[in-house]
Amino acid sequence: MSVTHPDTALVRVASWDLPLALRRMLILLPPLALAVLEVFHPQPEVNAQAVMDVATWFLAFHVIQLALIAFVALSVLLLADELGYGGGWPFPLGIGAFLVFYSAYDAIAGVATGLAMRHARGLPPEQQEGVWATVKDWPAFEVIPFSVNAVGTLGWVVALGALASFARQSGAPRSRWLLLGLAGFFLLGGHPFPFGTLAFGSLFAAAALVVASAPAGKRSG
């Protein structure tokens, strides 16, 4: 079931009926957790030994991040519902692209790199260098990971930009739509600290303002 929003001529889908406490937890905790996690993103020197030294944490970090990406996408969907956003193809297309492609990028450039370099620890030095030569350019320069990252990041920018634009047009306070726009913009710098923390921290701040302004009993189904 859907209704037309009187001020914006957009179609609003029926709200997701969730217990209030669960709804707020799903809106607030994933972006906060991801913002904090990015502070601890491993950033070793760009050589085989340095990456092997942090390979276990590099792997674990990106496994955790992979799970949080899905929850952050859900947070954005619930926040959009909270703001009354529905219809219009940019938002669902953008958040869908972020979920699929950014998850794929995390798996290729993060999880796979961590696994490969962790395995390389037990190899002779020349084989370690061979593994390193294979994976060192995955995150930024190899065509497939770079393209997957670009599509996922662009999806995030489109989704948050559409949500910020809707919030502005519907009369939301400047702080909310500005923070949503910043959440999209900052991820263009990549997900490691500081840009990832700024992106997901901005999303958390915007979500906190929206949740704080909602009536106490709203959607407590």
> Is residue 142 over pLDDT 90?
no
Residue 68: inside a domain, yes or no? yes
Any idea how long the chain is?
Answer: 221
10: pLDDT strictly greater than 80: no
How is 108-137 classified by DSSP, letter by letter? IIIIHHHHHHHHHTTS-HHHHHHHHHHHTT
Q: Residue 43: which domain range? A: 2-213
> How would residue 153 be classed by pLDDT, with cut points 50, 70 and 90?
very high
Structure confidence at residue 5 (pLDDT): 41
Nearest to 14 by CA among 28, 30, 3: 3
The two structure tokens encoding residue 134: 């294979």
pTM of the model: 0.88
Confidence (pLDDT) at 46: 86
Predicted confidence band of residue 139 (pLDDT cuts 50, 70, 90):
low
Indicate whether 65 belongs to any domain: yes
- 49 falls within a domain: yes
| Percent of the chain whose predicted confidence (pLDDT) is above 70 | 88
> Residue 37: which pLDDT band, with cuts at 50, 70 and 90?
very high
Using the predicted structure, report yes or no on whether residue 70 has a pLDDT greater than 90.
yes
Residues 72-81: pLDDT tens digits? 999 999 999 9
> Is there a domain that residue 221 lies in?
no
Contact 206, 183 (CB under 8 A): yes
Residue 219 lies in a domain: no
Mean pLDDT over the full length of the chain: 88
- What are all long-range contacts of 75-78, with beta carbons under 8 Å and residues at least 24 apart? 75/26, 75/27, 75/28, 75/29, 75/30, 75/31, 75/203, 75/207, 76/159, 76/160, 76/163, 76/203, 77/16, 78/16, 78/18, 78/23, 78/26, 78/27
Residue 174 lies in a domain: yes
Q: What is the reported pLDDT for 193? A: 96
Which of the four pLDDT bands, split at 50, 70 and 90, describes residue 140? low
Q: Does the residue 220 lie in any domain?
A: no
Q: Could you give the 3-state DSSP secondary structure of residue 170?
A: coil
Between 55-83 and 20-39, two packed helices, what is the crossing angle to 10 degrees?
Answer: 140
Contact 85/10 with Cβ under 8 angstroms?
A: yes
What is the number of structural domains in the chain?
A: 1
Per-residue confidence band for 7, with pLDDT thresholds at 50, 70 and 90:
very low
* Residue 136 banded pLDDT, cuts 50, 70, 90: confident
